[in-house]
Structure formats: structure tokens, C-alpha cells
Amino acid sequence: MAILAHVITLGIEAGTNASIRAWFKQFNFMPPIPLVAGQVDTVTAGVSFEHLLELLIRSPSKSFILIVHGHVDGSGLHIPLAPHQAKPHTEHWDLQKLMDVDARQSEMSPADITRMGISRHHVDRLLDLMRQVRQKQIDCIEFRSCNLGRNVMSLNRFRQFLGARQVGAPDLHTLFGLPGTLVGPEFLATHARHHPGGNWETYKFPRAFGAPHLVCCFKLNDLAKPESGGHIIADTAATFDAWVKQYVMPTGSRSGREMAMHALWIADIKVTPQHRGDLDHRPVFISVETGDPLGTWGNEALAVRRLIPPLSDDYARHIVYSR
């Protein structure tokens, strides 16, 4: 049974926000729990973790989908801890320090204030908001913040700070897009003509080797992440709808000339030296079963599979939970 959730995006670019809204309008499905959106709010001004706490407190919901940029090493979120903060990130270290101060296990020293880049006023404000959000007794938070699930310690500290029963996050990159769609054997046979310049990656269904019945294609940037909506092309409408039901949403179907897309994406993962010492990393394993259609898609030359759609087994495996 689906659970109604409040979707909040913070600091996300306009194009991606449009894709996120399209996803919840067309499919309204966020596995693996699963959750559905009862409300979608987009925050592009005054973005901070402090503001996020205020939004959680005001919301009538006890389940949330939070879409915020995450650190590649899983150490936190790419939003400032407080408005006008000198440091543009919220790290798990910041949250643990605040919890220690609240528990009277530590004091906020001048060095701590400098490291966190906030004023003492914001320390008091954050602690007050932490107490309020904990009083809500939030049931579930699904972060779709890239790589936050890679650092188990970080994920645990976010859950403890927010007082939620469970918090989930991917240990991979999160993808939202609006690929164009076409149906017809002639379009399928010539789809590569729509790959102008750059590095394109094509996923063939049902298998990578041999003539496909459907292709998903993405143009990648220098970080091996999709930089455009790409396209999905099938030989028939029946093939397209069957693919959507198998890999995207059990009751979904194609409509129009573009389709909302959500998936996890395997990109290059790098750990920065300054964080290497304090991470509790969860190893990332990608299963490849050559007898399974999912195990054989991808770039034939590189034998790489980056796309992990919502209904694939690997999607659930790469959402990490703290309880």
C-alpha cells in the first residue's frame, strides 16, 4: 500500500525541477517503499538546511521525499547549514556537533563556529528547530540526494538529527529527466542520427547484443552523468508500454512526445582527501547476471551499465536505510 508523502526540492536547477514535477504528475511513484506525492514544493530561494527544518515542521505530513544535491562521498548535502553561511555545505559532522551540544556533551568553541561557518545565533536557532522537528515524530524520509547512502555514519546522523523512524538514500547518482519518445521501426533503426556530438550511451532492450526492440539513449557530460533528456524509442507502442510497466511503474504507460524519467545512475565515484579519514563507507556492488535482460544492457564496447530504473532489482539494493 502506497504512503502519501510531501515532496520538497531544495536548490535544484530549473530544468531538473521541471522533470521532477513531471515525474510525480505522470507516474507519482517512488520505490522501494513505495511513496506517492500528496504535495510537491520547490524551493529555489533562501535555500538552507535551517529552512528545510522549518518546512518539515510546518508540513502536515509525517513522510517526506527530499530532493537535494548530495556530496559525491556521502558526507552531506550541497546546501548551506544556515542562511548566509560561509560554508556552502551541510555535513554530518555539523549535525553531530549540534547534537553533542544539545546533549551537553560538548560546547561550541570558536574553532567549531569557524569550521561550521555560522554565527552563534544560528547555533541556537538550529538546536531549537531540531527539537521541534523531533517532536513531529517523522515516520519516513526518502532522500533522493546523490550518494548520501554511501556513508552509513552520515545517513545515521541525519536520521538522528531529524528524529525520523527511518531514512533512506541512494548510494549512487539520482537521475530525473524528460526524454523525448518516438515509436516506429524506422525511428528505431535511425535513432543514432539524433546523437549530435559528445559522448552518448545507448541502452538496448531486451538485450544489449542483437537487434533491440527499444533503446534508451543519454548524452553524458565529463562526469559520466546525463546532461540532456535524451530519448526513448521503440518499434511499437505495445513494446513501449510493456517496457514502462516492467522497468518504470507497474501501472504506467507512455503518453505524448516525451516521458518523465527517474532512475539511479552509476557514475564515477571519487572520495576527497579531506573526508577520507572520517567516512564509514558502504561498498557499492553492481550485480551483472548475463542471463538476465537487465544484466546485459549497456554500452557494448565498454560493457558498462549505468542506468538503474525504478523497478529493477538493483534500484532497491542501492537505497540504503538507517532505522
Q: How far apart are CA 307 and CA 286, in angstroms?
A: 11
Residue spans per domain, the chain: 3-174, 175-314
* Cα–Cα distances in angstroms (integers) from residue 254 to residues 147, 249, 257, in the given order: 29, 11, 9
Q: Which residue pairs from 93-98 have beta carbons closer than 8 angstroms and sit at least 24 positions apart in sequence?
A: 93/278, 95/157, 95/158, 95/160, 95/161, 96/157, 98/123, 98/126, 98/127, 98/130, 98/161
User: Can you give the pTM of this predicted structure?
Assistant: 0.90
pLDDT mean values, one per 10 residues, the chain (323 residues): 94 96 96 95 96 98 98 95 91 98 96 92 96 98 96 97 98 95 97 89 85 93 86 96 95 92 80 41 45 45 73 92 96
pLDDT score recorded for residue 92 = 97
pLDDT score recorded for residue 84 = 86
